[in-house]
Structure 1
Amino acid sequence: MQAISIGLLGLGTVGTGVVKIIENHQDKLMHQVGCPVNVKKILVQDLVKERTVKVDSSLLTVNPADIIDDPEIDVVIEVMGGIENTREHLLNALKMKKHVVTANKDLMAVHGSELMTVAHENGCDLFYEASVAGGIPILRSLADGLASDRITKMMGIVNGTTNYILTKMSQEGLAYEAVLKDAQRLGYAEANPASDVGGLDAARKMAIMASLGFSMKIDLDDVKVKGITEVTEEDLQYGKQLGYTMKLLGIADREGDKVEVSVQPALLPSSHPLASVHNEYNAVYVYGEAVGETMFYGPGAGSLPTATAVVSDLVGVVKNMRLGVNGSTSITPQYEKQLKDDGEVNSKYFLRLHVHDEVGVFAEITSLFSNHDVSFEKILQMPLKEKGLAEIVVITHQASLSNYENILMELRDLPVVKEVKSSYRVEGSVSV
């Protein structure tokens, strides 16, 4: 079989890793696919920029048509980022019968179903393993390894920046702003970290995972999102005291035909495997009706881990080329989308209140919860330095989200409550 020619869109962090792996692992690739794999053209913004990988200048171009219109290029690998311009490039590549591998979670979360449809219409592969959790093969596991099972829940840490921040806050008792500055200095957080700390990056990944795992078209707007910007070191310390660890969790849960997808800071029992995933690492817990519980763990970003996922997808494309089955692996969603309403989303909750330190206050708060059929699992109460105030921390038993939000509204209007300081979802129970 003749050599496979690659057109690479982008030569940044991940693109550099892709070039290195293709060059350094050529013998492994030859063994896997039975032919040489060569990068023929690379789209860049600057032809003379210094780079960490040596590339012949004749391979570089600033014109995407040099890749998309070249009949000799078989596969386009997109690692340039962006959404609208990138969408146009990939749609054009697919219409030119070129297979596509992308690491672009933003693009796939917004335009994934359109791209998949065009790929299928043109008999092309569109693979995107690297768009979620970097070097962890979670999408391939959902599509292939767990294909015979019915996935009921996916829960994971899919953003390394926020996990690094929460790890440092928890272990060193530091404030959010201080840790964020440290993360930016070390390169774990962007100069503008809004997408990460606001939960949007994780939400995009959860939309992709939920669509694949539940075989249902989940859009980014279907994901309820809350970031970590309001998390305090006090919240983390109280969580610890009660036996919990806080993580920014992506949760995709299916009961019957209905699903819920969310991203939010949540408390996990400190004994849960996800609680021990620290710093920039990612991990995804998958529950299947047949397989039970499985966990995927590894680096969620970085040049070589992400590039490894990209090149693994490339190997899949070339194997399909040899078998003549390109374009047949994309599966249209099996189920109509049905989202749970707030009355069907059930969880436990952590709540921290500042109240007036008076007789009967706790009884009044307890009565309010009781009126909504919600009881307490754990309670802490302690005086505050501010005279006449006390702090109450509770973890509730299971409650519907609609019920709990009604409780929060009524608490804010209760004269004995000075302030609702914080509120988080709780996943699982601490064994006594």
Structure 2
Amino acid sequence: MKEDFLHYIWKLRKFDNLNLKTAQNESVTIIKTGDYLELAGPDFFNAHIKIGDQKWAGNVEIHLKSSDWYLHNHEKDPAYENVILHVVWENDTAIFREDNTEIPVLILKNYVSPEMVENYYKLLSPKTWISCEKQIQEIEEFVFKNWQERLFLERLERKSAFVYELLEETNQDWEAVLFCLLAKNFGLNTNGNSFLQIAKSLPFSIIRKESFEAESLEALLLGTAGLLDAEKEDIYFKDLKFKYFFLLHKYQLEKTHVDPVSFFKLRPDNFPTIRLSQLAGLYHKHQNLFSKIIALKSVKNVYELMNVSSADYWQNHYQFDKESPKKAKILSKSFLDLVIINSIIPIQFAYSSTIGESVIEDLIEFMNDVAPEKNAVVEKFNLYGIKSKNAFESQSLLELKNEYCNNKSCLKCAIGLELLKSN
């Protein structure tokens, strides 16, 4: 058993409120349980409780065992001097204030039904992928949908934290922030951090100036990635290398070292050469990309806006000096769906928040038209009957699994609380 279960029971009064007695056999009437702030100090602040004939206003501390008071060194902390009631599951020792008066104790297990405890242990079974895997399908659709919206919002709030970090680093330049986000996204999991380092190491003012020449952008990106360091006979390679060192001299840039990009285990269409060329093509096609991204309202608009391909050279190459069958290297719809999920939606959310607008309903509608991700978590939920029809639902499930299920935070989860309540 964990203390958060006792917090849940106390906060929502999930116990027999009639005929409460302290361990000292005084009657207890709970007028107000107190505010659960989850801050340092006592668990519940400003509680109103009548003990015997005396009405008290103060704080409530909750422990599994009363001896935890000393285990946590509360006797040395002045913040606990105003505790009016010690709520415990087991009372194994008396607790005294500094003036030697004993703190009243309520033994909670005497007033909680055995069924509630049994259902709690059943919910937190340690041998399952998620605690509620056998019960999750029982949740009413209304409850589940509302919780998905909250999960999606929490996921966006966490993702936007990274956007705000970039905003500070770029001196509030939203175009530069978008460039960094897109670069990371274009690198996917394998090369995302390397591509982000590339984007950060190139002043976006230079990207703006050189955006009218796609080959110059490609030279900057590939050169910074270290992909132009070797000596090759390939004419296109030599042209890019010349342009790269010319641009270094032109803008008085020092050659930057970033984490090496990888080709290992990647599908050829995801090779860093192809993705960096496509990123260069995107910024060549759109000089004011941020305003266009913020204005996007549908998946169709994204596909139209980002209908770009790599440079002509890459139509029959994946690497320098190695010719391959000709194939157009356009940004696929499945790739652009990931761009929507990981770049477009987060930056729209963060930007709207900074200007005081709420667009969460619009973003949910947007994501309802995006295909769900295909990954192990989404597929596992599918096995338990929770199918994702779109990216809004799959993103919510990822947040649920990573932030709640993995941490066994069932008592902070609407699904867990609903199951406990219904039981």
TM range, smaller chain: under 0.3
Question: What TM-score results when the alignment is normalised by the length of structure 1?
Answer: 0.21
More helix by share: 2
Tell which structure's C-alpha radius of gyration is larger. Answer: 2
Give the alignment's TM-score, normalised by structure 2: 0.21
